[in-house]
Structure 1
């Protein structure tokens, strides 16, 4: 699978795929690229309805020349509205807003990488807020931490396999809840109403955990 930045020709093919209403996964397959690369590329350059391959390529070239990350999208900009929508979806699913903002900023970055200083500057928040957010994301498997030995700093990374690892961690936590419920059921007695209720909960959560892990393993190649 090719690596590195998208070429101008690839961006033209992305635009053609969007015009044909192809899903991101199909566009990615045709380019032999990860689906997340396509989704990030489109999201940060106008969205499905406003993507312009020449503008997107020129913006990437300019950022590379400056050697700095792109500025955060304004809420009124084409990509900004989509970014805010993703953040709201994450918040409604239970993610703290600051954590959601950090996660989305990483997702929409060119290479899925940010330092804590970059996140602090881009989101205009305190280093402590960023630290709390990235620690949670790392613990849940959404983000991994790399060490830059030359500059002695941490780099936070969202790669394609992060989604698999987050599902595995969620499955493991669900299984732990199942085991706790089963143990409590035995303590209360399986012949008691409480014990029977907890035993059912334990059996349900255990099966959900196993199914979730099996599904993640079966579908993992979609992230390759």
Structure 2
């Protein structure tokens, strides 16, 4: 499977695939690239309706030449969701801001990989801040940690199945809460006002989470 940065020819094939209505997964299969590489490439270059291969390649070449941190890109495309907007969305959903910045920077990496030192340099923050952020991301399944045996350092990776794993972890935690509520309802008595309230809430959460897990399993192949 090819690695490294996308070539101009690959970007032209991505544009052709989008024009033909192909999914990210199908384009990735044809290019022998991870689906996450295609989704990141399209997202940061105008989205499915605004992707322009030549412009995207020029931006990538200039970005590589300048080595500009992701959150300071002056050549950021004017269409689609920007990285700052993605950070704000993550913060509004409850993610700490520093953690959101680290997560988005990893998402926008060409290969979805960064070392702690790279994150510190790109985001201009302390190693301790990066450590707290990546520990949160690893714990919640957004990122996985790999060990580079040659340089004896950790590498943080957003792989193709990161979203699946994060949903699975969140679902398990919510399911534990739902069943705890149902157990408390049984202890208090299902006929009492509090027991009824807890039983209804626990049952609702249990059903919703089971549906979500089944849906995640059903659509998991879109990430491969």
TM-score between the two structures when normalised by the length of structure 1? 0.84
Matched, 1:197 2:197: yes
Q: How far 1:11 moved relative to its partner?
A: 1.1
Residue in 1 aligned with 2:170?
A: 170
Taking the aligned partners of 1:196 and 1:212, their CA distance within structure 2 comes to: 24
Residue in 1 aligned with 2:149?
A: 149
Give the count of matched residue pairs.
218
Q: Contact (CA 8 Å) 1:8, 1:54: kept in 2 or not?
A: no
2:75 to 49, 55, 77: 77
Distance change (3 Å), C-alpha of 1:169 and 1:69:
farther
3-state SS in 1 of match to 2:70? coil
Alignment of 1:13-24 (within 5 A): 13-17=13-17, 20=19, 22=21
Distance change (3 Å), C-alpha of 1:23 and 1:99:
farther
TM-score between the two structures when normalised by the length of structure 2? 0.84
Unaligned 5+ segments in structure 1 are: none
3-state SS in 1 of match to 2:146? strand
Task: Identify the structure with bigger relative contact order (alpha carbons < 8 Å, sequence gap 6+).
Answer: 2
Residue in 2 aligned with 1:56?
A: 57
Distance change (3 Å), C-alpha of 1:193 and 1:58:
closer
Distance change (3 Å), C-alpha of 1:92 and 1:167:
same
CA deviations over 1:117-171 (Å, ceiling 9, x no partner): 1101100011111111111100100000011122111110000011111111011
Q: CA RMSD in A?
A: 2.8
Unaligned 5+ segments in structure 2 are: none
